[in-house]
């Protein structure tokens, strides 16, 4: 298992590097790798020829921050999916299931159709983050009112909140400014077009929060794999751990969705793919999920930008298509 994990991590890391390079080089305009390296060298001061070209602006101001954001969002969603699947013991758990993405989408759509860009560049991220955290608060309130914190109640409360905020989003779309419908559609299907050096820190913080929490609590999360009674016998405060994990997952999801929109299925697929070479324990599994999530979103974004040039597909279209085939494969090849 150690050799398999090492080889898997090495392969995933190489894939992330290669896909990041391809993401910067390819798009509506193809830029040779040599020009990409020269542009980055000028940006960091390794090349001092006093020249700034349009290629430099494309590479440094547009594509490089987009690739970094794809790495952060993909890694974060992969780890968040792992956390939610562990605390709910549900193989299909991801941010969609708990209304986290739906809440963030409602906040963003409210800005696009009603409020407008009143707070500048960060108006949309702030609104989406607020919507995601509001959805989290409603889920936790429902659980407390039901006087139970089991995984089944958490899933049911999340589904109810997801339907509620989805309905609110649809109402805002159809009753608001119809000229904004295209922007709403693109954002609710996910995209990395907002990436810039000013806001990619939001995605990086969201990813590091989820990954850092998982690595810090990996032994307690491992204990949950044996069931609640086993974890309690080992001294793990199951209810508190589940609630804290859900809060961390919610906060991280709100940060990621606030800057990249609603990108589905990464949190569902990646933990299953990572278990194939990392095993069930969370220390290795978190690292593998982060790398595979980053690689998957980089590849999906590259497809979204190059499939129908010069148009750009929402990246959620690509990830959802991959996710559909993944679930069919799971059902077809799972041992009976």
What sign results for the dihedral spanned by CA atoms 143, 144, 147, 148?
positive
* Cβ neighbours for 211, distance < 8 A, ≥ 6 positions apart: 75, 76, 79, 286, 287, 290
pLDDT in tens, 131-162: 888 888 888 887 777 555 566 777 778 888 88
Name the range with the highest mean pLDDT among 188-192, 195-199, 291-295: 291-295
pLDDT in tens, 167-196: 988 888 887 666 667 677 777 888 898 889
Better pLDDT: 219 or 193: 219
Q: What is the largest CA-CA distance in the chain?
A: 67
The residue among 322, 329, 270, 209 whose CA lies nearest residue 12 is 270
21 — pLDDT class (breaks 50, 70, 90): very high
The total of other beta-carbon atoms located within 10 Å of residue 12's CB is 24
* Per-residue model confidence (pLDDT) at position 80: 95
Percent above pLDDT 70 for the chain: 92
Percent above pLDDT 90 for the chain: 35
The answer to whether the CB of 249 falls within 8 A of the CB of 84 is yes
Better pLDDT: 267 or 330: 267
* Per-residue model confidence (pLDDT) at position 334: 64
299 — pLDDT class (breaks 50, 70, 90): very high
The answer to whether the CB of 65 falls within 8 A of the CB of 197 is yes
Q: Where are the beta strands (DSSP E) in the chain?
A: none
List, in order of start, the domains of the chain with CATH numbers.
2-333 (1.10.3470.10)
* Per-residue model confidence (pLDDT) at position 146: 57
Q: pTM to 2 decimals?
A: 0.90
Give ∠ CA 169-207-126 in degrees, rounded to 5. 40
Q: Is 50 exposed, middle or buried (0-12, 13-18, 19+ CB in 10 A)?
A: exposed
DSSP state for residue 89 in the 8-state scheme? T
> Looking at the predicted structure, is the pLDDT value of residue 119 above 80?
no
The total of other beta-carbon atoms located within 10 Å of residue 239's CB is 13
* Per-residue model confidence (pLDDT) at position 109: 85
The total of other beta-carbon atoms located within 10 Å of residue 9's CB is 18
Mean pLDDT score of the chain: 86
DSSP state for residue 122 in the 8-state scheme? G
Better pLDDT: 241 or 311: 241
């Amino acid at each position: 298992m150690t050799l398999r994990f090492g080889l898997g991590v090495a392969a995933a890391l190489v894939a992330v590097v290669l896909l990041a390079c391809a993401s910067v080089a390819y798009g509506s305009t193809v830029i040779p790798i040599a020009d990409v390296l020269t542009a980055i060298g000028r940006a960091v001061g390794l090349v001092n020829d006093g020249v700034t070209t349009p290629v430099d602006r494309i590479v440094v101001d547009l594509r490089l921050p987009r690739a970094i954001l794809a790495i952060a969002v993909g890694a974060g969603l992969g780890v968040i999916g792992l956390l939610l699947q562990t605390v709910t013991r549900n193989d299909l758990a991801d941010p969609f299931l708990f209304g986290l993405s739906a809440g963030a989408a409602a906040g963003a759509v409210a800005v696009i159709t009603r409020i407008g860009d009143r707070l500048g560049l960060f108006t949309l991220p702030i609104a989406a983050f607020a919507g995601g955290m509001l959805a989290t608060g409603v889920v936790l309130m429902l659980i407390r009112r039901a006087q139970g914190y089991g995984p089944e109640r958490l899933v049911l409360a999340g589904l109810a909140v997801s339907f509620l905020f989805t309905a609110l989003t649809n109402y805002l779309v159809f009753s608001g400014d119809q000229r904004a419908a295209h922007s709403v559609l693109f954002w609710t299907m996910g995209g990395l077009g907002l990436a810039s050096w000013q806001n990619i820190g939001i995605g990086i913080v969201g990813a590091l929060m989820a990954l850092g929490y998982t690595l810090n609590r990996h032994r307690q999360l491992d204990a949950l794999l044996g069931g609640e009674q086993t974890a309690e016998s080992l001294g793990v405060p199951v209810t508190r751990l589940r609630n804290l994990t859900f809060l961390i997952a919610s906060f991280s999801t709100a940060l990621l969705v606030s800057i990249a929109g609603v990108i589905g299925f990464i949190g569902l697929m990646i933990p299953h793919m990572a278990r194939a070479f990392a095993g069930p324990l969370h220390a290795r599994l978190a690292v593998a999920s982060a790398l595979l999530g980053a690689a998957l979103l980089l590849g999906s974004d590259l497809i979204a930008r190059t499939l129908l040039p010069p148009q750009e597909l929402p990246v959620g279209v690509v990830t959802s298509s991959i996710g559909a085939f993944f679930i069919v494969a799971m059902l077809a090849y799972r041992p009976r």
